[in-house]
Structure 1
């Protein structure tokens, strides 16, 4: 039986739902729309705009891998506040971050659409700048998306940058410090395990961010986002199933995963692409000091990686009961 939303829903909640619709559209369809508009310009009387943007695009081609182009006015849009309140989303600090230092933060888990990572670190809707004064957050995203006209400028305005090593090195080598580079370590592949009650992280063999931290002497910051996996249901795709095999193959070919997910709708609560209204509490752990090592051995990388995993587990254990995670639940690493 379909459960419809009541007509008496307050305006505030309707605006929150509209913000969630905007975000889902931006994430799933805006790139395609921007591409169609760009191509279409050349077949209209506005073809000159297409030419001018192409020139700009060429001249600006290196910006996504050189820190991007944040626009504070965009990060402070009121739509992001409505989006954060839709769930709601909270950013919790457990230790101070020194604005004279650079940091690499590992964000876990990815979730289906990484809404916690985007909302906390690409907008000011949860108060990032006031919680961590003097720190500039940058969230890494697949390089593919920065090849989409217009869309690339939109995502850069919030603080998204490419996932290339060159980009990480550019930010982490800034002598003045104050850069927090957020890496969703499990990547899009981890999204295939994102479902309510799941605490499986793709981390055991993900060590590139560890080596980057050592190369630049950047402190490591573990982040766990409680509730991230509760936002959508996903079609069962256990390891070894034909669906999971197909998804893994497509992920290797395309670089993006294709989880078969569903949530709620705009006017009913049973099916649709909107996320469920579930609280997200993103907890930022204490920094792990890392000594600069321009030529780390595999043993040194492995040792720091194990230390990072231990600190992430400690962060999870210290906060899980506050956020309704069963006491006997532990993180599972793949």
Structure 2
């Protein structure tokens, strides 16, 4: 049976749904639409626009790896406030971040579309500047997304940067400090396990961010987003199943995962591509002090990695009771 939404719904809720719809469609379709427009203009009387943009794009090619181009008017757009209220999404601080330092944060879990990461770090709808004064957040995204015309400018405007070592080095080596570089550690692979009640993190073998922190002397900050995995259901794909093997193979080839997710629709609650209205609370943990080590040994990396995992687990255990996580539920670190 299809459960339809009430006919008389407050305008505020309709606007919230519309805000989430445009965001979902942006990440599912905007790359394709932007590419079609870019190429299609060549066959119209407006071909010069493609030529001019293409020239500027060539000159601006390295920008995503050099801090990006965050634009305040993009980060402060009213649409993000409606999207924040849809779930709703809340940002929680547990410790101060010193504006004279640079930080490298791990965001967990990935979820299907990383809604909490985007709203908290790429918009100002949850008041990040007020909560962490003097700190500028930069969320990393796969470099391939910055190769799409127009779309690259949209995501850079929100504060997204390319996810490569050069990009990280550019931000973490800034001597004036005040930069928070955020990496969704579990990446595309973790998205395949994003479903309600799941707390499986791909972190055990992910040590690249630890080396970066040591090389640049950037303090580590664990972030856990409660509710991130509750937004969508996903077709059953246990490890070893034919579906999971296919998804893993495609992920290794394309660099992105293809979770078969489903949520609710616009006018009904039974199926669709919209996330469920379930709260997300993103908790930013206390920084782990890191001493700059230009050539860290494997032992140093291992020790700091274990310290990070311990602090992340402590963060989860300390706050889980506030979000109806069962007492016997613990993080599964893979």
TM over 0.5: yes
- Tell me if 1:113 matches 2:108: no
Q: Tell me the distance in 2 between the aligned counterparts of 1:51 and 1:198.
A: 47
Deviations 1:122-163 (A, max 9, x none): 000111111001100000000000000000000000000000
Q: How does 1:210-225 map to 2 (within 5 A)?
A: 210-225=210-225
Q: How does 1:280-299 map to 2 (within 5 A)?
A: 280-299=280-299
Q: Which residue of 1 aligns with 2:146?
A: 146
Report the secondary structure of 2:195's partner residue.
coil
Deviations 1:187-222 (A, max 9, x none): 011000000000000000000000000000000000
- Normalising by structure 2, report the TM-score: 1.00
Q: Tell me the distance in 2 between the aligned counterparts of 1:105 and 1:122.
A: 14
Q: Which residue of 1 aligns with 2:205?
A: 205
Residue 7 of structure 1 deviates from its aligned partner by 1.0
Report the secondary structure of 2:139's partner residue.
strand
Report the secondary structure of 1:138's partner residue.
strand
Q: Which residue of 1 aligns with 2:43?
A: 43
Residue 56 of structure 1 deviates from its aligned partner by 0.4
- Tell me if 1:31 matches 2:31: yes
Which segments of structure 1 move beyond 6 Å, counting only runs of 4 or more?
none
Q: Which residue of 1 aligns with 2:63?
A: 63
Q: Tell me the distance in 1 between the aligned counterparts of 2:164 and 2:316.
A: 29
Q: Which residue of 1 aligns with 2:258?
A: 258
Q: Tell me the distance in 1 between the aligned counterparts of 2:110 and 2:65.
A: 22
Q: Tell me the distance in 1 between the aligned counterparts of 2:34 and 2:239.
A: 36
Q: Tell me the distance in 1 between the aligned counterparts of 2:4 and 2:151.
A: 34
Q: Which residue of 2 aligns with 1:2?
A: 2
Q: Tell me the distance in 1 between the aligned counterparts of 2:169 and 2:231.
A: 33
Q: Tell me the distance in 1 between the aligned counterparts of 2:297 and 2:241.
A: 37
Report the secondary structure of 1:29's partner residue.
helix
Q: Which residue of 1 aligns with 2:231?
A: 231
Q: Tell me the distance in 2 between the aligned counterparts of 1:21 and 1:145.
A: 20
Residue 108 of structure 1 deviates from its aligned partner by 0.1
Residue 8 of structure 1 deviates from its aligned partner by 1.0
Q: Which residue of 2 aligns with 1:322?
A: 322
Report the secondary structure of 2:137's partner residue.
strand
- Structure 2 unaligned residues grouped into runs of 5+: none
Deviations 1:32-59 (A, max 9, x none): 0000000001000000010000000001
Q: Which residue of 2 aligns with 1:159?
A: 159
- Tell me if 1:176 matches 2:147: no
Q: Tell me the distance in 2 between the aligned counterparts of 1:138 and 1:110.
A: 16
Q: Tell me the distance in 2 between the aligned counterparts of 1:15 and 1:233.
A: 24
- Tell me if 1:310 matches 2:297: no
Q: Which residue of 2 aligns with 1:275?
A: 275
Q: Which residue of 2 aligns with 1:20?
A: 20
Q: Tell me the distance in 2 between the aligned counterparts of 1:56 and 1:85.
A: 37
- Give the CA RMSD over aligned residues: 0.4
Q: Which residue of 2 aligns with 1:84?
A: 84
Q: Which residue of 2 aligns with 1:240?
A: 240
- Normalising by structure 1, report the TM-score: 1.00
Q: Which residue of 2 aligns with 1:103?
A: 103
Deviations 1:82-139 (A, max 9, x none): 0000000000000000011000000000001101001100000111111001100000
Deviations 1:157-188 (A, max 9, x none): 00000001000000000000000000000001
